[in-house]
Amino acid sequence: MLNGRNRNTNLANPLMTPQFAPGAMAGLRVIDLTRVLGGPYCTQILADHGADVIKVEPPAGDEVRDWGPPFHEEDAAYFVGINRNKRSIGMDLASVGGRAILMRMLEGADVLIENFKPGTLEKWGIGSDVLQEKFPKLVHCRICGFGADGPRGGNPGYDAIIQAMTGMIAATGSPESGPMRIGVPLVDITTGLYAAIGILMALSERQKSGKGQFLEVTLYETGLAIMHPHTANYFMHGKPPSLTGNEHPNLVPYAIFPTRTDDIFIGVGNDGTFRKLCKEIGKPDLGTDPRFARNKDRIANREALRTELGAVFSLHEAEPLCNRLLAAGLPAGPVQKIDQALTNPHTIYRGDVIEKDWYKGVASPIRLDRTRPSLRSLPPKFSQHAREVLAEFGYSDGDIDGLVEKGVVCEERKR
């Protein structure tokens, strides 16, 4: 208890927030020119916390609208999962008229985020130097594969390709499986997180300098940055990581073990925790056994320890065992499928699944006390807010009709 209230309950389900309560990013206007995953993931973080995110889509729409099944009214779950709390306008930025609208939108914007191939905005005459001169307070974030310069400057980037090129795939898998791609688009998602952090840093600096700035976040640098501890290990001993499957290169035990029912994961970070684990499972002698007493000993004798622990765990059921170990402060968890994770009592209690009408999603994990996230609007249909947005920027109904007629503004996807 803190200040007479349960802190966890206070920070739980974001839908407990009044629908239009301001979030931490309320008052921030973001012009989002990104597509696919990294950029939209970044802007959903900001949108969940109150930013006004205007998603500018090309005439064909964000292609992940088609990355299904499953679909809801022709929009794939892939799109739906990363585009809530945004407004959409379809616009042809390759046209002079489209760029004129964009420049008007930027007059009142705080952030521009885009993931065009480097050089595209320069080709259109609105590169970062032009934007900085015309909108000195604008924070301009570019997400791209490799950056604008260097031997691979301007090359396109894709999550799995970056996983391959930064050592991630070579460090994932077992001797039996061979190198494996990580099963979630980790590079894309983390790039979106880094972009959000970078934008917030630039906005914070703007409060002191009064100036915006350009920032670039690349998939390639993100891939290298998250390769810990493999890069740190390599810098120290010069050896690339081997394929250890679910085992940890620096810690033992840190792996999956079968039980009488399901698999569990045990993660031990220090010698004291290991001794406590051994005592809790009724094998205190393992904690003082010279083969296992210190982490470096356990690494040298990992197979022998796996056999010892496996024999004990095989006598137990996964869920009760993990509950007992967790209650004792020990790191253990059942290996669950996604349906089990989403319906877990803790997930439900914390309000981690949010719903509105037909929509379900995973809530923002950033739980601020006063300025909480909220689900204000569902993922938009293509160009759903075109007329609303343009009217806010001073366009009349006649102006909008003319822009639609010329193909500058698109109310239907051009496939």
Q: Cite the active site residues.
A: 188
Distance in angstroms (rounded) separating the CA atoms of residues 282 and 272:
16
Other C-beta atoms closer than 10 Å to the C-beta of 78 total: 21
Do the Cβ atoms of 11 and 367 come closer than 8 Å? yes
Do the Cβ atoms of 143 and 117 come closer than 8 Å? no
Do the Cβ atoms of 373 and 80 come closer than 8 Å? no
Do the Cβ atoms of 97 and 406 come closer than 8 Å? yes
The DSSP code sequence of 312-356 is: HHTTS-HHHHHHHHHHTT--EEE---HHHHHT-HHHHHHT-EEEE
Helices and strands (DSSP H and E) totals, the chain: 19, 14
DSSP state of 14: G
Distance in angstroms (rounded) separating the CA atoms of residues 247 and 230:
13
Nearest to 266 by CA among 209, 333, 313: 333
List helix spans (H) across 170-229. 186-209, 219-225
Distance in angstroms (rounded) separating the CA atoms of residues 360 and 306:
40
Residue 115 neighbours by CB under 8 Å, 6+ apart:
33, 34, 35, 36, 38, 39, 142, 143, 144
